[in-house]
Structure 1
């Protein structure tokens, strides 16, 4: 128990570790690159990466290769060598088999909030890929269905990458394998689904995100999906990755293509064979057109041309707009709002659950004095956890998204905002503009407090209303303190608060 506590203590001070998991060829590595804003993992024809990649923030970018042979020291090298050590190539199979994992350091600011773990596909036709992923998480291939990872499993939270076909049986097994050990059951609070390759839906929908949202809504009608996923965010992964690497040459070529009428361009770009033909009167060399189509995807290239026609004039402007269209910015914000600022809460809850499991396993073989010592130690931790209101809010959030707690649409949105799902400022929690005056904040907090106190007194939302009332009371105190400081800074009360 002491060893477990020490290990968990060290984890509490580390950045949250978010594993990106999914079946092969679903765009995991493309999504990682898009999130970071830099091509750090092999994609495309090299997407079947052989090793697990740890990606973390640092001011000195670089790559360190860790080997399975414990006597072989880690090899520090340049990020320029990443493809050599990460991508499947027949000429270096022995080298790839010797790698345990890659430690990739990037100075991209988005990684400052938490580390990402880019895993190999769990149903790869090459056994080594799946074994590497599972072994990294202390799991053998034969144990996937059992969903019993060790308490010290490496990932704290998950991004589950799914293709436009939605969630498959393989995805279900994967979720049980990754989620089971941390909570004893699948936990939606620590898991977000990402529907990638949304751009491919353009064939069937003028707006591919409409089709993606329809698929997402259909998936969430299943209680089994609600039990394991907090939400599903649609993303055009390839477009987002390409936008991050946009340059002046791309901009000039897109400007040239944008001179073609929208109708003619759309008819041509949807077919690779037609887009390469020389008799269509399209500008640029056919090979260059084909390369742009492959990188941007037909939907992305058509979108980029439309943005140019609408007046976008610089690389930075086009990159920003394409990132917005791709959905990657929304996903980044959601990961930051949902994961980053809850890092300590998530890890504290995992710690409590790990200690309880450990205690249950030990108790049967203990003498009375040892059992008493165990209970005393466990109660110390339990008391600390009970005194943390954020954990109550985390549990409330899980009951809400799993469907265990059913609220009306307005009450549901109030709760999501109050617990900080869309920002931690008083205004964000109260569903008001950032410019809201203190008096407006106070009035809104009082209204919510009284309404939810009414729910509590009436016995509605049993086991949940008191958590919302406590959060509203906290906001009322904070707003009152802010008003005292802002409106009468020389008062005795303000001086006391400042002290």
Structure 2
């Protein structure tokens, strides 16, 4: 496997393979266009799809991650479509038909009775579209361009619910993430955030389709179900509802997430599962001074009296309740923050939070969004080059296999080798395992293992636990020592299979660091090959 400073990125070699294929197919425009798309993918932002069942909270989570109200969350026609969110110089929404025709979409912003933005925020009006060519068409997908630092780094794809009563609606998500058949069926997403409210057969079935497509076993990448996204993270969405909006709701959600994580990790379907209260996270990201003032007023109400008022959203908004906040504003708070968010905000103010900015930070942290951002950064953003290279190699393997008979045939063995040798995925699986279970190793060793496989970041000094200013020679010494240590741990006679595989993964990560630092080990056990059995980390 090739390593580089981006953290096991394969981009340089992938570029070379794609370029060689483009030369071989110079006289075949259709195939050349597919290869051009492979090349472009390497230069574009990472593509992350949000998926899950109907009403899982995908659009709300998207708004929270971006920190702006850019995705409609009400049950309109646009939530039945695949919608791409990209960075742009100015807000713009465009509808595309299956044949490439486009039309501008009118964006409407609702407002509540008190003059604040309403709970439903934006709506994309798909009526009366004026297409740039020909007669009216059926909308195939939407593309939203929006100025956003988050979208500059990551293109987010919001997908329809997989359990929609309409087969056509559910099929749109399946085609995007688990394409079937045809040499044009190339993967559209590099990674997936899958939202769970429960863990039922529909969730497991869909995750298995993504998992079997991602070719985690290193089998032939050109089999009928093409390789899917390499990274998959689970989110227990609407986590505050698990505890019925109680102040300890997220504790209950964390227990549920741990159970889901254990079940999914054992099958290799998901690297991590994080509980997130998406509604609270978005409301915290866009908290207004007037809302803070309302919470401050509610904090003066006796605890028992306010608790009785918060038995339900309808009761909380009743005009006959003697609360120091107008009923219209109370209804707005319930729609924006939920009962859990209101209880938490009032409690934090009673405990000493004294301004809107501080409250927003506290609510964001407690919503689970900060933890999710950390996991997304470590497992997706810092590994963006490898995830994109995996998508491009997957597409290239399928193109070469379905268009034989040229000089490009000689490229296919190397492409398949690269797809089969994805050490970064072994690291991702192990990171997920460490979140849900603890290996029988001393705490200091667990911390070192977590760091070495990229749990604190993929830069060489972060993996080695050193200062950013540490000289290369010292880093080499530390990396070589790590190779020896973790190979020795893996050979320990009392180590069970799971622990041995984890230690082998750490050793291989250390070897990768030596390659980055231009000092490959020279010991007799310099290179290792992880066993490819059903219960390994590779």
TM range (shorter): 0.7 to 0.9
Is 1:231 equivalent to 2:272 in the alignment? yes
Cα deviation digits, residues 399-456 of structure 1 (max 9, x gap): 67479x9954555553432232322345532356889999997886565344124246
Higher helix share: 1
Q: Secondary structure at the match of 1:53?
A: strand
Q: Which moved more, 1:334-343 or 1:182-191?
A: 182-191
Q: Which moved more, 1:250-259 or 1:201-210?
A: 201-210
Cα deviation digits, residues 13-51 of structure 1 (max 9, x gap): 111111111111111111111111111111145497132
1:75 aligned residue = 104
2:64 aligned residue = 34
Determine the C-alpha separation between the residues in 2 that align with 1:439 and 1:355: 38
Equivalent residues in 2 for 1:15-414 (5 A)? Answer: 15-44=45-74, 46=76, 49-68=79-98, 70=100, 72-75=101-104, 83-85=122-124, 98-136=138-176, 139=179, 151-163=185-197, 166-183=198-215, 190-203=231-244, 206-222=247-263, 226-277=267-318, 280-357=321-398, 373-379=407-413, 381=415, 385=418, 391-398=422-429, 401=432, 408=440, 410=443, 411=445, 413-414=447-448
The question of whether the paired residues in 2 share the 8 Å contact of 1:79 and 1:104 is answered with no
Change (3 A) 1:244 1:463: closer
Cα deviation digits, residues 61-94 of structure 1 (max 9, x gap): 3222223454x4443766869955368xxx7799
Deviation at 1:380, TM superposition (A): 5.3
1:486 aligned residue = none
Deviation at 1:338, TM superposition (A): 1.2
Determine the C-alpha separation between the residues in 2 that align with 1:35 and 1:76: 23
Unmatched 5+ stretches in structure 1: 479-499
Deviation at 1:340, TM superposition (A): 1.5
Change (3 A) 1:58 1:412: farther
Cα deviation digits, residues 164-214 of structure 1 (max 9, x gap): xx2211112322444544437798951001111111133386522221121
Q: Secondary structure at the match of 2:488?
A: helix
Change (3 A) 1:149 1:302: farther
Deviation at 1:375, TM superposition (A): 4.6
Deviation at 1:256, TM superposition (A): 0.8
Q: Which moved more, 1:335-344 or 1:17-26?
A: 335-344
1:11 aligned residue = 41
Q: Secondary structure at the match of 1:348?
A: helix
Deviation at 1:159, TM superposition (A): 0.8
Determine the C-alpha separation between the residues in 1 that align with 2:279 and 2:192: 20
Give the TM-score of the pair, scaled to structure 1: 0.77
Change (3 A) 1:86 1:336: farther
Determine the C-alpha separation between the residues in 2 that align with 1:204 and 1:305: 14
The question of whether the paired residues in 2 share the 8 Å contact of 1:50 and 1:128 is answered with no
The question of whether the paired residues in 2 share the 8 Å contact of 1:445 and 1:476 is answered with no
Give the TM-score of the pair, scaled to structure 2: 0.72
Equivalent residues in 2 for 1:465-484 (5 A)? Answer: 466-471=507-512, 473=514
Change (3 A) 1:161 1:228: same
Q: Secondary structure at the match of 1:111?
A: helix
Determine the C-alpha separation between the residues in 1 that align with 2:327 and 2:108: 32
The higher-RCO structure (CA 8 Å, 6+ apart) is 2
CA RMSD of aligned residues (A): 4.1
Q: Secondary structure at the match of 2:44?
A: coil
The question of whether the paired residues in 2 share the 8 Å contact of 1:28 and 1:118 is answered with yes
Q: Secondary structure at the match of 1:167?
A: coil
Deviation at 1:300, TM superposition (A): 0.5
How many residues align? The count is 455
Deviation at 1:470, TM superposition (A): 0.8
